[in-house]
Structure 1
Amino acid sequence: MTPADLDKRAELTIWPQRAPGRSAEGRPFATLREALAVAIAAIESGEAQPWIITEAGDILSPRWIQANSRSWGLQ
């Protein structure tokens, strides 16, 4: 992933962490940067598991989001 990818579209799906069997819908964002900011807030709340699909088709897991948020200057 490159810094330019942060300005491309992405879709964020936030799954409830402690609610098995519930479904969630993806929400489009104009930029990956915006989707990551919302995903980080969801992780910090402790109540959700965010997953992101980038415009390029990469799937970013909650662990990836958390591990890489500092390296992109998003926290």
Structure 2
Amino acid sequence: MTPKDLEKRAELTIWPGAAPAQTRRGRPFSTLREALAAAVDALHDPETQPWIVTEDGDILSPHWIRANRDVARQR
């Protein structure tokens, strides 16, 4: 992940952690940095599972988001 990647569009979907699978619609963000910050905020609720799909088609899991939570705050 490069700093330039953080400025590309991304979509965040937050799934309920313990509930049965349901259809969810993603929320678009103008930058991956914004989507990552929102996903990190969602991690405060242990019942949620945030997933991000980047403009380039990469899928970022809750585990990846936790491991890279400080990236959203960097400039």
TM-score, normalisation: structure 2: 0.88
SS in 2 for 1:23: coil
- Shift of residue 68, structure 1, vs aligned partner: 1.1
- Shift of residue 73, structure 1, vs aligned partner: 5.2
Q: Distance in 2 between matches of 1:14 and 1:58?
A: 16
AA aligned to 1:25 is: R
Encode CA deviations 1:28-70: one digit per residue, 9 max, x unaligned. 1101011011100111121210000001111000000000112
| Alignment match, 2:27 | 27
| Alignment match, 1:15 | 15
Segments ≥4 residues shifted beyond 6 Å: none
The gaps in structure 2 that reach 5 residues or longer are none
SS in 2 for 1:46: coil
- Percent of residue pairs identical: 64
The gaps in structure 1 that reach 5 residues or longer are none
Q: Distance in 2 between matches of 1:33 and 1:68?
A: 11
Q: Distance in 2 between matches of 1:66 and 1:33?
A: 14
AA aligned to 1:5 is: D
